A and B are shown apart, each in its own frame.
Chain A
Amino acid sequence: MARCLGLALLLLLGSASSAGWNSCVAAAEACTANARCQRLRTEYVAQCLGRASSGGCPRARCRRALRRFFNRGPPALTLALLFCPCGDPACAERRRQTFVPACAFSGPDPAPPSCLAPLEACEHSQLCRSRLRAFQASCAPTPVAPDGCPREQAPGCRHAYAGLVGTTVTPNYVDNASARVAPWCDCGASGNRREECEAFRGLFTRNPCLDRAIQAFESRWPPSLQDRHQDPEHSLLQLLTCN
């Protein structure tokens, strides 16, 4: 029944507006339709758009509200906002902006810091440290699987990645042309700890397991979402056979 409702919801949402619709808009609307998701989403947007006394945005409060969103929100809806599959720049840009990165992701300075700084801050926070460990464990390539990561590991990896959003090592999509992700930092000024820095950044930028897990989110959407020009009678029959 839940799948039927989900299918119906997507069918309804899909047929509502043709221009500018994409899976990330659908994810936003699905969140809006759920009271808990909507409340938590409005809360983090309100916090992240605020003004701090120092002039910038209240980063700590914004990040805390984001953590609450992913902790307490319905996982199917919150993860859909984070991993909605995109085929065009408009969709990808929406996906990139979804957790108000201007506040939660980019640091106070225009240039990103060395990765060693957020990494150290993370190691000093019990919450961040445990989340990072979980991410490292869940998204680690295994020597057994041929392309480095067994399929059944994907949901755990995605969940662990979402757990990093709102910490000092918050990752985000790097552009609106791909699904590549990275934390807000680089390894330019890492001195003699460059290897350590690159290894950490590589957890996001050179991780086939993570890439695969993010791509795999596509296949979890029902076919009516990916193919909007599907024969309407066929979609109807799919709907009716749900009951």
Chain B
Amino acid sequence: MALVGVLLSCLLPLGLLLDLSWGPAALGSPVAGSGEISAEHTVEAGGTQRPWLGSRHPLARLRRALASPCQLWSLTLPVAELGLGYTSEERVIFRYCAGSCPRGAHTQHGLTLARLRGQGRAYGGPCCRPTRYADVTFLDDRHHWQRLVQLSAAACSCSE
């Protein structure tokens, strides 16, 4: 139905704007201004709010996620989908870190490791990880409050 198509194209940008997930294949949306400035490494948050209006396809989003720099992503999930055994009518926001890390190193450890990797004597690469976490709270099915301490990421950084 044409109206449904219009509804989807109207609500999708709104849904992403409001950080709501859209279907099980959604990877969530990036959180603006999530570049973490830490002692070891500065993540460039350039292009955090990429325009999503162009592509809705999950594969296109996956490609874009892997291509984008290390940043904080946000998913809205029903509590049951956290996979921790809780049940609630509420949906909560779960944030995680993903993205590519530049190969440049900022510590002596990083410099040596990068050299060894270049020589094929060490494996892997810097990876995007949370540097801070936040609690998630909700009222469960039995109307008891639950607090999941440090469940969600709050800031990301590339670490070696």
- Give me the interface of A with B, judged by CB distance under 8 Å: 5, 8-9, 11-12, 16-17, 19-22, 25, 28-29, 32-33, 38, 41-42, 45-46, 48-49, 93-94, 97-98, 100, 233, 236, 239-240
Contacts and interface: CB of A to CB of B under 8 A. Distances in A.
Contacts of A29: 90-91
Nearest to A11: B11
Contact of B143 (A11, A45, A97): A97
**3 smallest beta-carbon distances between A and B, as pairs:** A20-B89, A45-B137, A25-B89
A218 B93 CA distance: 27
Range of interface residues on chain B? 20 to 34
A33 B15 contact: no
Given A28-B138, A94-B139, A98-B139, A236 B91 contact: no
Contact of A45 (B6, B11, B19, B147): B147
A179 to B, nearest CB: 17
A169 to B, nearest CB: 23
Contacts of B122: none
Contacts of A98: 139
B93 A38 contact: yes
Contact of A21 (B3, B7, B89): B89
18 contacts: A5-B18, A8-B14, A9-B14, A9-B18, A19-B89, A21-B89, A32-B90, A32-B93, A33-B18, A33-B93, A42-B137, A42-B147, A46-B137, A49-B147, A94-B139, A97-B145, A100-B145, A240-B10
Nearest to B92: A32
B18 A28 contact: no
A12 to B, nearest CB: 6
Contacts of A38: 93
Contacts of A239: 7, 10-11
B91 A32 contact: yes
B145 A25 contact: no
> Interface on chain A toward B: helix, strand, loop, or mixed SS?
helix
B78 interface: yes
Contacts of A9: 14, 18
Given A8-B11, A97-B145, A46 B92 contact: no
B53 interface: no
Contacts of B138: 28
A36 to B, nearest CB: 13
A8 B12 CA distance: 10
Contacts of A16: 91
Contact of A93 (B18, B135, B143, B145): B143
Contacts of A48: 145
Given A45-B145, A100-B145, A233 B3 contact: yes
Nearest to B1: A233
Interface string B41-65: 0000000000000000000000000
Interface string B129-150: 0000011111101010101000
Contacts of B20: 12, 33
Contacts of A46: 135, 137, 147
A5 B10 CA distance: 11
Given A239-B7, A240-B6, A28 B135 contact: no
Contact of B78 (A17, A97, A240): A17
Contacts of A45: 137, 145, 147
B15 A12 contact: yes
A100 B138 CA distance: 11
